[in-house]
Amino acid sequence: MFDIWSINVFLIGMIVGIVIGFIIYALRFYRLPVGVIVVDVSEPDNDPYLYLNISKDDLYNIINKKVVTLEVNRITTSDSQK
């Protein structure tokens, strides 16, 4: 019913379609971090302190965005003693 040529073409088409779909998904939904949120847990008796570090250039770029990505840095007691 189906020869080997049509099966190979079908499989190659499926693989190419999956790869193209993955590339489009990655370009659409992948976001680079626009800043850093620093979580200071060096004082265990208190709640953690949060500091947001965003450059002025990034601030003007993110004003109209609904969703942004931040990098998270954690400061612990051993980090603060260095």
The predicted-structure confidence for 36-71, as pLDDT tens digits, reads as follows 999 998 888 888 899 999 888 878 888 888 888 889
Q: Are 80 and 42 in contact (CB under 8 A)?
A: yes
Report the C-alpha gap between 73 and 80 in whole angstroms.
13
Could you tell me which residues come within 8 angstroms of residue 47 by beta carbon, excluding any fewer than 6 positions away?
none
Q: What are phi and psi of 53, to 5 degrees?
A: -115, 110
Confidence of residue 9 (pLDDT cuts 50, 70, 90): very high
Mean pLDDT computed over every residue of the chain? 86
Answer with the residue of higher pLDDT: 74 or 82. 74
Whole-structure pTM over 0.75, yes or no?
no
Q: How confident is the model at residue 1 (pLDDT cuts 50, 70, 90)?
A: low
Beta strands in the chain (DSSP E): 35-40, 49-53, 70-75
Do 34 and 67 form a contact (C-beta atoms < 8 A)? no
